[in-house]
Structure 1
Amino acid sequence: MKKLIALVFVTFLFFGGIPTTSQLAHAESLVTISIDGLNVREGPGLSYRVVKQVKKDESFPLVNEKNEWIQIQLSKNQTGWVANWLVQKKDKQQSKSSELEQSIGQVTVDGLRVRNGPGTSFQTIGHLNTGNQVIIKEKNENWVKIAANSIEGWVSNEFITIVQTKQETEPAQTSPNNLGTGTINVNSLNVRSDASLQSSIVGKLQKGAQVKVISSTKEWTQIEFQNKKAWISSEFVDLHSPATNTTEPEETEAPSASGIVGTVTANGLNIRNKADLSGKIVGSVSKGSSFTILEEVNNWSKIEYSPKQFGWVASWYLDKSVPETTPTQSQEVKESFVTILHDGTNIRSGPNVSTSVVLRANQGDQFAVKSLNGDWYEITLKDGSSAYIAGWIVSVTGSAPQVEKPGAEAHLKNKTIIIDPGHGGGDNGTTGARGTFEKELTLRTAKLLYDKLRASGANAILTRTNDTYFSLRSRVSTAHYHNADAFISIHYDSILDRSVRGMTAYYYHSYQRPLAEAVHSSVISQTKLKDRGVRFGDYHVLRENNQKAILLELGYLSNPAEETTVNSPQYQETAATGIFNGLAKYFKTNL
């Protein structure tokens, strides 16, 4: 009997110590918290004791999953469980690769419109010309979010060429050949043998301790500790410039400030004596530091990093903002003209529709622009007097910006909208005639819609952001927890008859029908698919949903021709735009 017990024990130790395929897969996933103050529990259920509260946007390694709950690694010796509808899962490798994406682009066409959102329905906020370089901040399959000088917005990715990557440009680290120092900013910081939370602790450092830095990345800093190399979390060390700090300043008088403030987003960002990677390193600045940008040249920014000491830093490691000032009533405009687009256009005495009409102009009439007042142009009439015309009903030439009337985004601001890409993980959904997985297509559509909604000021939430399984119950729980104004479940259809095509919208409760009708008509208008109508549908995500929820079937993957159509970037863009406009239409008429 003792031998049997010993054999069982040894077997348990041997096999219990080998991680399963599922555990290995989980080890490569991160869980990001979606709300502030989320309770982490001792077990997978609301009846278990709360062991910790975590903050929004914090990330933890995923350990295990059970029903609607996810187990996360809080520290080396502690785990806990969180509800899966209150977090987002992301693959570590995807996270790393996204950080290494190309970050510098070049414009390939003159007059490229910069918009305040990813779509042609968003307002134009500026223009770029051939050769202009931009910092790429985000991108989806059709649009790129860029920053260039004082402009930040979205442009069509068709007209942007990648010219540099983050790896080719200024690294956010101190090179081993240029050692610096650091100051510990937290009590009892663990020093580890390797750059991993799973590595052994070789010692501790107290707040204020000075360390010699060998190298530093966004997550980990290598230091000299007890005459050996060791690692600490980059978050808890303030990096200082290397010995080259004593270099004489490049100049002693400050240039004129641009009025733009840059906040450092990288750890240990190097300062150079000229706007080029070949420039000599004269110091470094830590993450979170803010400086007034004195000058910008080819994506490099000049700053005063200490009194009367100036240098250059890579602009793509700065978050730029303009300090709030008291807005002026009007902006002077020189050498610009407006052209009337329609007969009988009202010209008014003041910059709003409540003022009196002083003249009615006809198509083709031109007037010189004196200033821009909000969305109205102040113009000079033929008798020399001043009047006003709405900027969105004329075209403009010259230096004055083109004003566009606020579009759909005005009705979506602050709305909470849950976007539910159907299927995922082991659930492929339907498979198209040419092999398309429904789960992949629904995620493409959802991500495009998400970017549009977020740019409009909506509180957009995706039930899944990658190829993971998310139960129907959890999808509904997400809508309930966030008290969603709308829940949009995205799908693609299939049937044995390969000739069937078109788009259908479904609802279950009567209070869901107006939303289904508004979105359906808008998507049909945009995509020109065959209209299969708005129908009652007994689907879990609709039936069990207390919110205004709809399910969209955006085309038939079983139809080979329609499968090709819905796979195209053009269709994906029009489908997402149709849903976006349909939501705006619904909220405009149902406030």
Structure 2
Amino acid sequence: MKRRFIPLLVCFMLIFAVFLPQDIGVAANGSVTIAEDTVNIRSGPSLSYQLVKQGKKGEKFTIIKEKGDWIQIQLSAAKTGWVANWVVTKSSNGTTTTSTTNSKKMSAEANTDQLRVRSGPGTSFRIIGYLNKGQAVSVLDENENWLKISATFGEGWVAREFIDTKNNNNNNNNDSKEEDNNKSIGTGIVTETLNIRNEPSTTGTLIGKLTKGTSITIYSKKNNWLEINYSNQRAWVSSDYVQIGDKDKPSTSNGAIGTVTASNLSVRSDTSLNSDIIGSVSKGQKFTILDEVSNWVKIEYQPGKIGWAAGWYFTREKGNSELAKDSKVTILHNGTNIRKDPNVQSNVLKRANEGETYPIKAVEDDWYEITLPNGTNGYIAGWLVTTNGTGPGIDKKGAEGYLRSKTIVIDPGHGGIDTGATGASGTLEKELTLRTAQLLSDKLKAAGANVFLTRSNDSYLPLPSRVRLASVHQSDAFISLHYDSNLDRSIKGMTGYYYHSYQKELAEYVYNATNSQTRLKSRGVRSGDYHVLRENQRQAVLMELGYLSNSAEEMTLKSGQFQENAATGLYNGLARYFKEQ
């Protein structure tokens, strides 16, 4: 009886197994690579499970199975864990993919002289060195507007338009022709709302508009038309409404006067402590600064003898030789203080409004001395204004210090099956929010902030999970990024939202800086009953960065220049908020 029963039992078990409930996870298929600097690996597929390990950026693990937005991975022979799919990149068996930068191992060279190298991807970051035309560098990382490079003096970021890249393993003629076509001949600033056409003629088809203040890269010129790149295609704009000039290419002389502060300072043959000493200067001596490279200044230390000295041993005074007769500043924000002296403790002489212009009389450190309508002089901080191109630019200093070690959670709205709004020409909100988030993340990381994205790829994440990330990481600020839509396609502009009263100050700082940088129509800051704000116990703001339903605004929003400006504005707003805390 037993012998007959055993085969029957085996058959029954096999049949029963077919109808057993299947785990919703997916069988092992490939591996994952940690995409963030530090990622929590948990005992189960939820943020509520216990932490079992922290993964570091670049670590790879084999996939066991997937469950919703979570992936089970093999940590060791006897240990597994779960990681959220929005903080890793996946590769399948046999088709492992690596990042563009790593696989191509790009080399590059500067296509202009005295190209500024900055500590981060943006013009608000400090200058750490210069490249000369033809100087070779290695590309370490990239986003759509900036390249992180390695040069003889270290690592830094440069504007993509002033660098020619090439793959070490690809030198065919077609690539060379494509590189030539991608070389720019300069940059410019749009001075009025400007039509974009598909050919260099007023009869060309109108394909979009550029707002006043937008920076453009110029690839060629035909009569009074300029060729630009717009929405991944070549297009044309009238040169009558473009102020030509490189936005991040320095002049070689600023005419400022420097006073030596060291008792005895060596003058060297080059910009390095290892270069030969060719002379010396003493405390109190004054020199015209002829050039400046990586915190070194070029001076004529004796009649007819020129050398380099450490710039940190000089104080700066007013220098008018750098100013053209028509140099002016334009106010960026309403209520900007014009002060009696060049410091924030000085008495306020006047409050200026956005768009007002004043002649520049001189430059003193980070301040412009300007002439007021009544003939008196005042001072205004250089980071609160723009110049007309002939005046010297002043970089905003200190932002990195206010952001260092702050924990920022960036929430690119929507993702995966949730596409969000769809633009008039098909732009998906979920793709645009991720673009903006990645550009902002690069800037914040370069400033030393701890940055976490609620998603780093096209994946769906429930709203409670997004909020939970702010709590888990004890964020100092939570920034939710969105693009708006309305049945009335004439509506346009930017809006900032908060829910709790303690979130209002952050929302105002972030909104004001972003709106000033992008120059979209201002719809203001208001209370909004959004889950990521209402259920958030941390400082949080939700930004609607423009209307995709407005066809003209949609073209602006998806342009590379708007994305750069939006990320810069968000970055500056966060820095100003933390500065005041």
Q: Are 2:176 and 1:159 equivalent residues in the alignment?
A: no
Q: Distance in 2 between matches of 1:375 and 1:125?
A: 17
The answer to whether the Cα contact below 8 Å between 1:136 and 1:147 also exists between their aligned partners in 2 is yes
Structure 2 equivalent of residue 319 of structure 1: none
Distance change (3 Å), C-alpha of 1:430 and 1:537 = same
Structure 2 equivalent of residue 428 of structure 1: 419
Structure 2: unaligned runs, 5 residues or longer:
172-251, 263-282, 291-297, 302-307, 320-362, 369-392
Structure 2 equivalent of residue 508 of structure 1: 499
Residue type matched to 1:9 in 2?
A: L
Structure 1 equivalent of residue 576 of structure 2: 585
The answer to whether the Cα contact below 8 Å between 1:121 and 1:407 also exists between their aligned partners in 2 is no
Q: Are 2:92 and 1:89 equivalent residues in the alignment?
A: no
Structure 1 equivalent of residue 508 of structure 2: 517
Matches within 5 A, 1:166-565: 339-340=255-256, 350=261, 368=300, 371-374=309-312, 376=314, 406-565=397-556
Q: Distance in 1 between matches of 2:472 and 2:33?
A: 18
- State the Cα distance separating 1:581 from its structure 2 match: 0.6
- State the Cα distance separating 1:9 from its structure 2 match: 2.7
Q: Distance in 2 between matches of 1:114 and 1:363?
A: 20
The answer to whether the Cα contact below 8 Å between 2:261 and 2:313 also exists between their aligned partners in 1 is no
Q: Distance in 2 between matches of 1:520 and 1:426?
A: 29
Q: Give secondary structure in 2 for the equivalent of 1:95.
A: coil
The answer to whether the Cα contact below 8 Å between 2:439 and 2:567 also exists between their aligned partners in 1 is yes
Residue type matched to 1:124 in 2?
A: I
Residue type matched to 2:419 in 1?
A: N
- State the Cα distance separating 1:443 from its structure 2 match: 0.6
Q: Distance in 2 between matches of 1:569 and 1:38?
A: 33
Residue type matched to 2:53 in 1?
A: Q
The answer to whether the Cα contact below 8 Å between 2:41 and 2:81 also exists between their aligned partners in 1 is no
Structure 1: unaligned runs, 5 residues or longer:
169-335, 352-356, 382-388, 395-401
TM-score (norm 2): 0.59
Q: Distance in 1 between matches of 2:289 and 2:311?
A: 23
Structure 2 equivalent of residue 149 of structure 1: 152
Q: Distance in 1 between matches of 2:515 and 2:503?
A: 19
Residue type matched to 1:115 in 2?
A: R
2:34 alignment partner, one of 32, 35, 39: 32
Distance change (3 Å), C-alpha of 1:501 and 1:111 = same
The answer to whether the Cα contact below 8 Å between 1:445 and 1:575 also exists between their aligned partners in 2 is yes
Q: Distance in 2 between matches of 1:529 and 1:49?
A: 45
Q: Distance in 2 between matches of 1:113 and 1:534?
A: 36
**Number of residue pairs matched?**
392
Q: Deviations over 1:278-329 (max 9, x none)?
A: xxxxxxxxxxxxxxxxxxxxxxxxxxxxxxxxxxxxxxxxxxxxxxxxxxxx
- State the Cα distance separating 1:153 from its structure 2 match: 0.9
Structure 1 equivalent of residue 53 of structure 2: 53
Q: Are 2:134 and 1:131 equivalent residues in the alignment?
A: yes
Q: Distance in 2 between matches of 1:91 and 1:79?
A: 17
- State the Cα distance separating 1:408 from its structure 2 match: 2.1
Q: Distance in 1 between matches of 2:515 and 2:47?
A: 43
Structure 1 equivalent of residue 277 of structure 2: none
The answer to whether the Cα contact below 8 Å between 2:260 and 2:314 also exists between their aligned partners in 1 is no
Matches within 5 A, 1:85-124: 88-92=87-91, 93-95=96-98, 97-124=100-127
Q: Distance in 1 between matches of 2:554 and 2:367?
A: 40
Q: Distance in 2 between matches of 1:467 and 1:484?
A: 23
Q: Distance in 2 between matches of 1:80 and 1:13?
A: 28
Q: Give secondary structure in 2 for the equivalent of 1:109.
A: coil
- State the Cα distance separating 1:115 from its structure 2 match: 1.1
Q: Deviations over 1:21-75 (max 9, x none)?
A: x837x7356152868795642x44688788x535433332344444675422335
Q: Distance in 2 between matches of 1:75 and 1:511?
A: 45
Structure 1 equivalent of residue 243 of structure 2: none
Q: Give secondary structure in 1 for the equivalent of 2:405.
A: coil
The answer to whether the Cα contact below 8 Å between 1:376 and 1:390 also exists between their aligned partners in 2 is no
- State the Cα distance separating 1:555 from its structure 2 match: 0.6
Q: Distance in 2 between matches of 1:47 and 1:566?
A: 37
1:9 alignment partner, one of 14, 18, 22: 14
Residue type matched to 2:14 in 1?
A: F
Distance change (3 Å), C-alpha of 1:557 and 1:114 = same
Q: Give secondary structure in 2 for the equivalent of 1:122.
A: coil
Q: Give secondary structure in 1 for the equivalent of 2:129.
A: strand
Q: Give secondary structure in 2 for the equivalent of 1:480.
A: helix
Q: Deviations over 1:445-499 (max 9, x none)?
A: 0111011111111112212111111221221111111111111011101111111
TM-score (norm 1): 0.58
* Greater displacement, 432-441 / 2-11: 2-11
Calculate percent identity across the aligned residue pairs.
Answer: 46
Distance change (3 Å), C-alpha of 1:499 and 1:62 = farther
Q: Deviations over 1:351-371 (max 9, x none)?
A: 7xxxxx98999999x974673
Distance change (3 Å), C-alpha of 1:53 and 1:453 = closer
Q: Are 2:567 and 1:576 equivalent residues in the alignment?
A: yes
* Greater displacement, 493-502 / 456-465: 456-465
Q: Deviations over 1:194-245 (max 9, x none)?
A: xxxxxxxxxxxxxxxxxxxxxxxxxxxxxxxxxxxxxxxxxxxxxxxxxxxx
- State the Cα distance separating 1:547 from its structure 2 match: 0.7
- State the Cα distance separating 1:373 from its structure 2 match: 4.6
- State the Cα distance separating 1:541 from its structure 2 match: 0.9
Q: Distance in 2 between matches of 1:79 and 1:555?
A: 44
- State the Cα distance separating 1:511 from its structure 2 match: 0.6
Distance change (3 Å), C-alpha of 1:5 and 1:572 = same
The answer to whether the Cα contact below 8 Å between 1:27 and 1:62 also exists between their aligned partners in 2 is yes
- State the Cα distance separating 1:429 from its structure 2 match: 1.0
The answer to whether the Cα contact below 8 Å between 2:422 and 2:429 also exists between their aligned partners in 1 is yes
Structure 2 equivalent of residue 73 of structure 1: 74
- State the Cα distance separating 1:117 from its structure 2 match: 1.0
Q: Give secondary structure in 2 for the equivalent of 1:145.
A: strand
The answer to whether the Cα contact below 8 Å between 1:102 and 1:162 also exists between their aligned partners in 2 is no
Q: Distance in 2 between matches of 1:140 and 1:33?
A: 15
The answer to whether the Cα contact below 8 Å between 2:42 and 2:82 also exists between their aligned partners in 1 is yes
Distance change (3 Å), C-alpha of 1:166 and 1:416 = farther
- State the Cα distance separating 1:96 from its structure 2 match: 5.3
Structure 2 equivalent of residue 311 of structure 1: none
Q: Give secondary structure in 2 for the equivalent of 1:488.
A: strand
Q: Distance in 1 between matches of 2:463 and 2:313?
A: 46
- State the Cα distance separating 1:584 from its structure 2 match: 0.9
Q: Deviations over 1:117-165 (max 9, x none)?
A: 1111112222212221110000000000111222321111112222333
Q: Distance in 2 between matches of 1:430 and 1:532?
A: 19
The answer to whether the Cα contact below 8 Å between 1:68 and 1:474 also exists between their aligned partners in 2 is no
Distance change (3 Å), C-alpha of 1:404 and 1:489 = closer
Q: Distance in 2 between matches of 1:588 and 1:572?
A: 24
Aligned Cα root-mean-square deviation (Å): 4.2
Q: Give secondary structure in 1 for the equivalent of 2:98.
A: helix
Q: Distance in 2 between matches of 1:362 and 1:148?
A: 29
Residue type matched to 1:485 in 2?
A: D
The answer to whether the Cα contact below 8 Å between 1:100 and 1:165 also exists between their aligned partners in 2 is no
